[in-house]
Every structure is written in structure tokens, then in C-alpha cells.
Copies of this chain bind each other. A is one copy, B any other.
Amino acid sequence: MATIKDVSDLAGVSQATVSRVLNGTTRVDDDKKRRVLEAIKQLGYRPNAHAKSLASNRSNSIGMVVSELAGPYFGEMMAGAEAIIRRNDKQMLIASSHASESEEREVIDFLLSCRCDALILHAETLSDAELVKIHQQGTVLVLLNRYIPAIAEQCFVLDNELGGFIQTEHMIQQGRRRVACILGPQWKHDAKERFEGYLRALKQYQLPFDPELVVEGDFQESGGYAGVKKLIARGARFDALVCANDEMALGAMDALSEQGVAIPEQVAVIGFDDIAYANYVTPKLSSIHFPVRQIAADAAWLVMQSVYKMEPPEEIVQQVMPKLVTRQSSNCG
């Protein structure tokens, strides 16, 4: 592949001049400029990004880490960040960690090797200390759906506990008294917080906590399906089902239908995240709205601002409040 030297030779100018017309740093004689552009086209020249980064100590790229590349939640997250990054003519490098600690460390290492100008992380497994350390070593980083007091200014979060509370409270206000719950993996911060919200709601409305009504899932459809099967197998009786995310709620609804349980008449169901498909199942799924796309976009803006001095069009919101979205599955359709 052609180099800048090939271009300068063909155009009969110095490498420096080629670099100048490429980057527009200094004015260049119109005639020479034409010759350079001509040579570039003729040779099919493309600047080598590696050489550029090496020389300029800027990669113009933002690294992003998500748990999975597939799935509605992370899809929205990636899309939200990318839109902003691309709008500002930067590039985004995406890597997935599969929520494994070793992989999470590995991909962050990779992105640091790429000398990303900043990192946007959905880090689930790394310790607070480890993340703080990366930040202290001089890497600009932003955290999604995770709060670490020491670097609070870098965190973008939804109040998961309140979300869990709202879910549960909604069920109770619909007149339900035996509210079952399918939890997310309890080692995950958000899953745990959502569970805490569930507990607080029960307490506030003076309903007894019954461990028989609670099962832990994996945030996947299959986990929700299995969760309902488990509840039924243990003979649990419930008239409402709070799910820690929408995907499990879909699986749960599938299992309930299979058992001939009417939703919401016999069991009201509510999810969390408000993914697009919540609106396309029958009955439509009530949920807690989690504006992931917007949050990720705001996170990207924070990076644009602190690294490249670009100004965001509106205020950046780092703490967003969960919002109840009622649909048919909780009898409000």
C-alpha cells in the first residue's frame, strides 16, 4: 500500500507538504495542493492510522466495553455511544467481555494497547479499586450503570433500587398481594439493587417476605422461563411476577402461557429495561424505562468534552430516574 513518501515523490513535493494538505494545518500553494490530491487519488493512498497515532500521540478513537454484542440492552448501548462518537469524527472500538473477569481485564488491556483516547465501560466484574487505578493512571474513562464514589464524576447510573421498588409497588397497587420475583444474578450490582428495591416495597406495604416466591435467573429469556417452572414446581402461589429484566419477563410469560395462566388476570407481570420488544409481545409488557441509548450517548458526550473539548448540545445527565411504563401485562393496557 502506498505511503506518504510515494505520494510526495509523485507530486514532486516534500512529505511535510503532503501531510499539510492532508491535515490542513498550514496553507499550501494551490497548484501543489492539486498535484498532491491527484497523486493521492492515483495511488489510492490511505494514511496509516498506526503511524499517525504514533507520531501524534492521539488515536482519535474511543474504546467501549460491553458484556455482549448481541441482545437489545447492549445493542442500544453501543448504538447510543457510536452515534455521538461518529458525529464528532472519532472512531469507536468495541470489545465484549462476556461478563467474565479475565476477559474484562483482557479487553481493557487491548483497548489500552490501542491507546484509545478514552474508555467507556460497562464493567461488571472488575473491582472498584481496579477501575479507579486505570483512571488514576491517566486514562479518561467513563462507567455505565455502575457507581464508584471515588470517581463519581465518571459514572452514569440509573437508580436500580428505586426501579425495583417501583416495579413492586406497582404490582401491589394493582391489588396483588403475593408478588413473586425472578432476580438477576446476585453478584451483579444492578441485579442486587433491584432486588433490594423489591424488598423495600414489600416492607413499606407491610407484606411478608416469602423466600419461596423468589428465584434467581440469568437475565436471559431461558432464565425467566426456568424461573417460572421452578416457582410452579415448588408449589408457590402468586398473583404477580416482578422480573429483574425484560428478557426474563418474556421467558416467564412464555412459561406462564404454557401453563394456561392468564396474564394479567391470574398473574400480573412486569419487566425492567423497557426494551423495544416489550411493546411487541402479547400482552404488551409493563416495564421500567431505562434509557440506555440516551445514557450511552451522554457518556460519549462527556468523553468528547473532556478529551476533545467539544461542547454537548444539551446538559449531560449522569443520574437518571427509573420511570414506570404500564402496559397490558400489569392490567393497565
Contacts and interface: CB of A to CB of B under 8 A. Distances in A.
Interface stretch (A27-35, A71-79, A194-202, A298-306): A71-79
A5 to B, nearest CB: 14
A281 B94 CA distance: 31
A127 to B, nearest CB: 16
Interface string A317-328: 000000000000
A49 interface: yes
A257 interface: yes
A54 interface: yes
Nearest to A281: B281
A70 B59 contact: no
Contacts of A50: 49-51, 53-54, 59, 114-115
Interface residues of A, number: 50
Nearest to A91: B110
A59 B51 CA distance: 12
A23 interface: no
A68 B276 CA distance: 15
Interface string A55-79: 0000100000000111110111011
Given A253-B280, A280-B254, A75 B71 contact: yes
A1 B69 CA distance: 30
A298 to B, nearest CB: 17
A254 B279 contact: yes
A93 B71 CA distance: 19
A282 interface: yes
Nearest to A70: B75
B277 A113 contact: no
B280 A250 contact: yes
Interface stretch (A40-48, A170-178, A231-239): A40-48
Interface of A: 1, 44, 46-51, 53-54, 59, 68-72, 74-76, 78-79, 82, 91-96, 109-110, 112-115, 137-138, 221, 250-251, 253-254, 257, 276-277, 279-283, 293
Nearest 7 pairs between A and B by C-beta? A70-B75, A282-B282, A50-B50, A69-B78, A70-B79, A250-B280, A49-B113
